[in-house]
Amino acid sequence: MKTKAIMIGAGLANMASAVYLIQEAHWNGDNITFYSLDDHGSNDGSVTTDQTDEYWNKNHPLSNTKGYLARGGRMLNYRTYVDLMDLLSRVQSVTEPGMTAAEDTYDFDAKHRTYDIARLLQGGKGIIDGGKMGLNNEDRLLLTKLIMMPDREETKLDNVSIAEYFKDDPHMFQTNFWYMWETTFAFRTKSSAQELRRYMHQMIYEFTQIEHLVGVNRTRYNQYESIMMPLINYLKDQGCHIILNRRVTDWDFKDTTMQDEITVTGLTMTNTETGAEEHVDVDDDTAVIFTNGSITDSATLGDFDTPAPENMDYGAAASLWKKATEHFYNLGNPDKFFADRDASEWVSFTLTTKNHVLLNEITRITTQQPGNALNSFLSTTPITPLGQVDVNMSIVVHHQPHFTTQKPNETVIWGYFLYPRRRGEFVQKPYIEMTGKEMLQELIGQLAKVDPGPVNIREHEDAIMDSVVNCIPVYMPYASALFNNRAKADRPKVIPAHSTNLAFTGEFVEQPYQMIFTEQSAVRSGEIAAYHFAGIPMSHLVDTPRYDKDLPTLMRATKKMFS
Amino acid sequence: MSKKQFVLGVFLGLVVTSAAYVANRLDLFHDDAKDYEEFEGR
Ligand SMILES: Cc1cc2nc3c(=O)[nH]c(=O)nc-3n(C[C@H](O)[C@H](O)[C@H](O)COP(=O)(O)OP(=O)(O)OC[C@H]3O[C@@H](n4cnc5c(N)ncnc54)[C@H](O)[C@@H]3O)c2cc1C
C-alpha cells in the first residue's frame, strides 16, 4: 500500500484516480501531485484564446483567435458509463448550484433527450431511414460471430483489422449499419476487429436503437466546463497539487537482479515555459499513476484562413510510455498506436457564428432541433479504396449555448472528417489541407445536396459566410489511435506484473471487458489504480452491467439485424 | 417408448444442448469479479 501519488497527466483518468484515493482511501489531497502539459487532456472546451498558447499550439500562432474551440463533440451513455457517473456524483457542478456534476447532467439530459431523425443524409435522397440496417446474411453471420465470441477467446482477433475481418464481405461497408457505427464511434476500416468486438458487446443495447441515438446522453455544456472543471475544483479544494506546463520525459527505475521488478525511483521533466529540466525523486511510499497515451497529443489548430499544420511529435504520453518499454518487456507496444497515423488521424472543426442563420438552415434541412443529432453526409460517388460510397463528413449541432460565456446570438457547431486525406467534394483538396473557411464551404455544399428546398441553402451562403466569427480546424494525428489494430499484449495492464509502484491509466491500457474511446474506460482505469494502491478490494469497483449476456437485449439485437 | 416420446426426447435434447452451447459462448455463468483478481494479487 502507498500513501502518496504522483500523477503523470492531468486528464480524466488520473483525476478520477485522485478522487477515489481521497474519497475511498481517505488520502489527504496534499499527498497527490499532478505533472502535466495541461489540465484537460482530450476533454477540452473553451474560448479559442485559452488553447492557443498551450504546448502543441504555441509554435503555430493564429491570425484569428476569436470564437470557441472543442476538439470533440462528446456523447455519453449512462447505461454503460457507470464509473463516470459514479465519479460525477462525487463532485459539485460548477454551473448549477446545489447539484453534483452527475445531477447536472441527468437534469440537462432529461430535459433534452437525444432523438436523432437525420442520422444519415445523402444527395438526391435527403434523409435516409437508418433504421434499415441493410445487412445481408454474410454480414449478419460475421457480426453474430463477434457477439458470440466470449472474452476468453478475444485473442483470436489479435492483429486482425476490421478490413481483414470482413475481407470476404465488402458488402458490410455499404450498409447503413456501418455508416452509422463508424461515425458514431470513429472506427476506421484499419481499426482493430478486437475493439469492434468489445463495442458489439458493451454497446449491444445501443445497436438496437443506433439510428436515433436515443441511448446517447449529453452534458449541459462542453466537457471541460461540465466534467473537468468540477473535478479540478474539487481536487484543488482538497489540496492536490496540479502542476502544469511540464512534459515528463524520462524515468529512473530501481536496478534489480532479475530486471523485471518495476519500481519508479525518479522522473525527469521539462518545464515547457522556461525550457528548464527538472527532476523529481520518487520514494517507496509513492505510487506513480501514468496516462500512457493521449489522443489529443500533437494536435494542432488552424483558423478561418489557415489550415491546421501537421505536428510530427510522437506525443508526450506515448514518448514516455516508449521509454518505459525500453526497460521492461511486459508494457506493450506504443508503436502499434502512435506510428501509424494513416490509421489514426482525423480532422475536426469548431465553427462559431454571430447569428443563427446557419443553425436555422440546418434545423430546416435536417428537420430536427439543435442538440439532438449527429448528422453524417454520405457521398454520392465512390470514395473508398474498395470503390464504395462512404460518409464524407459528420456534424454535431450542440444544444445552444455550448459554452457558459457564449452570447445568445452566437452559435457553435462541431464537425469532423474521419478520413482527412480524402479530397473534398466542393473544395478540391484533401480535408487536412483546408482552412476553416473551406471546411465550412464543404459543409454548405453537403447541406445544399440534401436540401429539400424550396429555397436552397446556397442562396444564404453569403449571409452565412458573413456570420462567421471563426472556424478552427484541428488536426489530431492520434484521434483514433486507441482503435489501431493491435494484439491484446500491445497495451500494458493497469497494474503490470512485477510493478511495485507504477500503474497505467487511460485509453491505452488493458482492463477487463471495457471498450475504449470512452470517458467510462478512462475513469475505470483510474479507479482500478487507486484501489490497488490503497489496498481496497476490487469487489468495491462500480458494478459493470453486462447487456451482452442479457437475453432480451440479445433477442432485440438479433431482430434488429433483420431490419 | 412411443415414436412421439422419442421425437420429443430428441427435440428436448437439442434444445438443452443448444441452450448450454449459447450459455457457454456467452459466458453466462462467468463471475466477472474474477477478472480483477490479478490486479488484486499484485
Ligand atoms: C475528438 C474527440 C471526441 C471524443 N468523443 C468522445 C465521446 O463521444 N464519448 C466519450 O466517452 N469520449 C469521447 N472522447 C474521449 C474522451 O475525451 C477520453 O476518453 C478521455 O478524455 C481520456 O482521458 P485520459 O485521462 O485517459 O486522457 P487525456 O484526456 O488524453 O489526458 C491525458 C493527459 O496527460 C498528459 N500527459 C500524458 N503523459 C504526459 C507526459 N509525459 N508529460 C506531460 N503530460 C502528459 C497528456 O498530454 C494529456 O493532456 C473523445 C475525445 C476526442 C479527442
State whether the beta carbon of A17 lies less than 6 angstroms from ligand 1. Answer: no
CB-CB contact of A395 with A415 (8 Å) = yes
CA of A295 from ligand 1 middle (Å) equals 6
pLDDT tens-digit readout, A494-532? 999 999 999 999 999 999 999 999 999 999 999 999 999
The residue of chain B with its CA nearest to that of A498 is: B42
Determine the average pLDDT of the residues in A303-318.
97
Looking at residue A501, what DSSP letter applies?
S
pLDDT at A115: 92
- Average pLDDT of the residues of chain A: 96
Question: Ligand 1 center to residue A43 CA distance, Å?
Answer: 6
Assign B40 a pLDDT band (cuts: 50, 70, 90): confident
Residue carrying C-alpha cell 473534398: A424
Local confidence band at A130 (pLDDT 50, 70, 90 cut-offs) = very high
Size of interface A-B (CB pairs under 8 A): 46
**Rounded to an integer, what distance in angstroms lies between the CA atom of residue A73 and that of residue A398?**
8
| CB of A96 closer than 8 Å to CB of A79 | no
Are β-strands A286-291 and A4-8 bridged in parallel, bridged antiparallel, or unpaired? parallel
**Cell numbers that stand for A474 in this block:** 484541428
- Asked about A199 being catalytic, the answer comes back as yes
Query: Do B40 and A538 count as a contact with CB atoms less than 8 A apart?
Result: yes
Which chain B residue shows the shortest CA-CA distance from A531?
A: B40
Pairing of the two strands A411-417 and A241-243: unpaired
Q: Is the CB of A39 within 6 Å of ligand 1?
A: no
Say what the pLDDT of residue B41 is: 67
Residue numbers in A near B40 (CB within 8 A): 532, 537-538
A229-237 and A12-23 helices cross at what angle (nearest 10)?
A: 40
* Nearest-Cα residue of chain B relative to residue A512: B35
**What pLDDT shows up at residue B30?**
85
Query: For the sheet containing A300-301, what is the strand order?
Result: A126-128, A120-122, A375-378, A391-397, A411-417, A346-353, A468-476, A300-301
A507 with A295: CB under 8 angstroms? yes
Q: Is B38 on the interface with A (CB under 8 A)?
A: yes
Is 90 exceeded by the pLDDT of residue A174? yes
What torsion do the CA atoms of A264, A9, A335, A489 make, to the nearest 10 degrees?
60
> Is the CB of residue A471 below 6 angstroms from any atom belonging to ligand 1?
no
Cβ of B27 within 8 Å of Cβ of A554? The answer is no
Range A68-87 average pLDDT: 95
Q: Is it the case that residue A196 has pLDDT exceeding 70? A: yes
**Confidence at residue A423, expressed as pLDDT on a 0 to 100 scale:** 97
Contact assignment for A528 to B36 by CB distance below 8 Å:
yes
Q: In this complex, do B32 and A152 lie within 8 Å of one another by their Cβ atoms?
A: no
Q: What whole-number distance in Å separates Cα of residue A245 and Cα of residue A534?
A: 28
What is the ipTM metric for this complex?
A: 0.80
Nearest residue CA, atom 6 of ligand 1? A74
Q: Cβ–Cβ of A554/B25 closer than 8 Å?
A: no
Residue A395 has pLDDT above 90, yes or no: yes
Distance CA A19, CA A87 (A): 8
Identity at A434, one-letter amino acid code: M
Residue type, A419: Y
In this predicted model, what pLDDT tens digit does every residue of A458-496 receive, in sequence order?
999 999 999 999 999 999 999 999 999 999 999 999 999
Give the closest residue (by CA) to ligand 1 atom 50: A72
| pLDDT, tens only, A85-128 | 999 999 999 999 999 999 999 999 999 999 999 999 999 999 99
> Residue A11, Cα to own-chain centre: how many angstroms?
12
**pLDDT of B1 strictly over 80:** no
Q: What is the pLDDT of residue B42?
A: 66
Question: Which pLDDT value is given to residue B32?
Answer: 84
In angstroms, the CA A175 to CA B38 distance is 41
**pLDDT score at B38:** 82
User: Which residue among the candidates A35, A68, A199, A419 is catalytic per the annotation?
Assistant: A199
Looking at CA atoms only, how far is residue B16 from chain A in angstroms? 16
Residue A163: DSSP 8-state = H
* Mean pLDDT, range A217-241, rounded to an integer: 97
3-state secondary structure of A34: strand
Q: Cα(A494)–Cα(A529) distance, rounded to whole angstroms?
A: 7
Residue A247 Cβ contacting ligand 1 at under 6 Å: yes
Residue A100 has a pLDDT of 98
In tens, the pLDDT along A138-160 reads 999 999 999 999 999 999 999 99
Mean pLDDT of the A294-319 span? 97
Q: A152 contacts in B (CB within 8 Å)? A: 27
Report which of A55, A48, A41 is spatially closest to residue A12, judged by C-alpha positions. A41
Distance A13 CA to ligand 1 centre (A): 8
- Reported residue count of chain A is 563
Provide, as residue numbers in chain A, all residues whose Cβ is less than 8 Å from the Cβ of B28. Answer: 549
3-state secondary structure of A559: helix
The DSSP output letter for A421 is T
Does the domain at A4-112+220-294+313-324+487-540 match CATH 3.40.190.10? Answer given as no
Q: What is the pLDDT of residue A287?
A: 98
Of A43-52, A65-74, A397-406, B27-36, minimum mean pLDDT range:
B27-36
Positive or negative: CA dihedral A185, A190, A195, A196: positive
